[in-house]
């Protein structure tokens, strides 16, 4: 039998992170789980054990992240799978989002994963092994959603970062995957995971309609099953050649196909004129 894997999962006290950590533990692997409070992790998983380590982490703080990574390696001896899962949605039109709202969203959705990578990669590089899994969203590939620009931009950034990362670490025996879930029933639209801009002009009808749709019609009715999504991520972590891009759910796959078709249409329509810009 292969040795058990050591997983480092951020945002593991609820949502997809909670489902993923539970399934990882059920299959016999070990989990170092982060949350803003250790109590929330102990409520979800019980006390620490030889296969579970609860870590109270401020992901925006490099020092806090480093301490968590160091504690994981000190406890389990290594890290095999890093899952950057923690994040939240910031709603608001581009015009109405404040600088503070945008920066806070990027701090958690982009710079926090960078903190984790900055301190985890030296250990993976030394091992010459490991798998980094960054949880984006289908909105990180198909971004045409009025009012979700901050969240979309942060997830596009995480997706692009993962592509560059995969190119950098391949020679070191490290793999990277960006996960694009479609709408998933995880409490994503709760007050803890969705913030709204303080001011949105009434002229932006499409944005307001989108917010109403998500809060009043989609919340609790999303098609995606978080447990099945967790099992898919585990499957991808256990194959020899994991995907760089992992689209999850029927809706995500449909939207990805539509985006690629739209891009191809633009390419074909403008190809002759666009290629004429070369010397």
Per-residue pLDDT at 1: 39
111 vs 213 pLDDT, higher one: 111
**8 DSSP β-pair partners:** 32, 82
* pLDDT value at 16 more than 80: yes
pLDDT tens, residue by residue, 44-101: 999 999 999 999 999 999 999 999 999 999 999 999 999 999 999 999 999 999 999 9
What burial letters (b/e) apply to 82-94, b meaning 16+ CB within 10 Å?
Answer: bbbbbbbbbbbbe
Strands 81-84 and 6-9: parallel
Mean of pLDDT values over 117-128: 98
pLDDT tens, residue by residue, 126-172: 999 999 999 999 999 999 999 999 999 999 999 999 999 999 999 99
DSSP helix/strand/coil, 148 = coil
**178 DSSP β-pair partners:** 134, 245
Classify the C-alpha dihedral 157-222-31-132 as positive or negative: negative
Tell me how crowded residue 97 is: count the other CB atoms within 10 A of its CB.
21
Per-residue pLDDT at 195: 84
pLDDT tens, residue by residue, 244-265: 999 999 999 999 999 999 999 9
Rounded Cα distance between 107 and 149, Å, is 15
Residue 241 is classified by DSSP as S
Cite the active site residues. 151
Query: Which range has the worst mean pLDDT, 15-24, 47-56, 221-230, 251-260?
Result: 221-230
What burial letters (b/e) apply to 54-72, b meaning 16+ CB within 10 Å?
Answer: bbebebeebebbbbbbeeb
Mean of pLDDT values over 207-224: 69
**195 DSSP β-pair partners:** 90
What domains lie within the chain, and their CATH numbers?
6-254 (3.40.50.720)
What the block records as the tokens of 12 is 């593991």
């Amino acid at each position: 039998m292969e040795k058990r894997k050591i997983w480092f999962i951020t945002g593991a006290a609820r949502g997809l992170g909670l489902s993923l950590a539970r399934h990882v533990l059920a299959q016999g692997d070990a989990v170092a789980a982060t949350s803003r409070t250790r109590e929330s992790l102990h409520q979800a998983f019980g006390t620490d054990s030889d296969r579970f380590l609860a870590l109270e982490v401020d992901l925006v703080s490099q020092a806090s992240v480093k301490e968590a990574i160091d504690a994981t390696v000190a406890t389990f001896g290594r890290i095999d799978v890093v899952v950057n899962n923690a994040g939240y949605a910031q709603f608001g039109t581009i015009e109405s989002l404040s600088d503070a709202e945008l920066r806070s969203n990027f701090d958690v959705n982009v710079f926090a994963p960078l903190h984790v990578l900055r301190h985890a990669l030296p250990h993976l590089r030394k091992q010459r092994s490991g798998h980094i899994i960054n949880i984006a969203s289908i909105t990180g590939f198909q971004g045409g959603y009025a009012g979700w620009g901050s969240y979309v931009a942060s997830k596009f950034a995480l997706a692009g970062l993962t592509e560059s990362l995969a190119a950098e670490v391949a020679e070191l025996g490290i793999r990277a995957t960006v996960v694009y879930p479609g709408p998933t029933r995880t409490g994503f639209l709760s007050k803890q995971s969705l913030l709204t801009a303080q001011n949105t002009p009434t002229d932006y009808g499409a944005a307001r309609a989108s917010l109403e749709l998500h809060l009043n019609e989609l919340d609790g009715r999303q098609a995606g099953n978080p447990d099945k999504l967790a099992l898919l991520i585990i499957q991808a972590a256990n194959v020899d050649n994991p995907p760089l891009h992992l689209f999850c759910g029927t809706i995500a796959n449909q939207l990805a196909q539509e985006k690629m078709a739209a891009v191809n249409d633009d390419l074909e329509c403008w190809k002759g004129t666009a290629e004429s810009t070369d010397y």
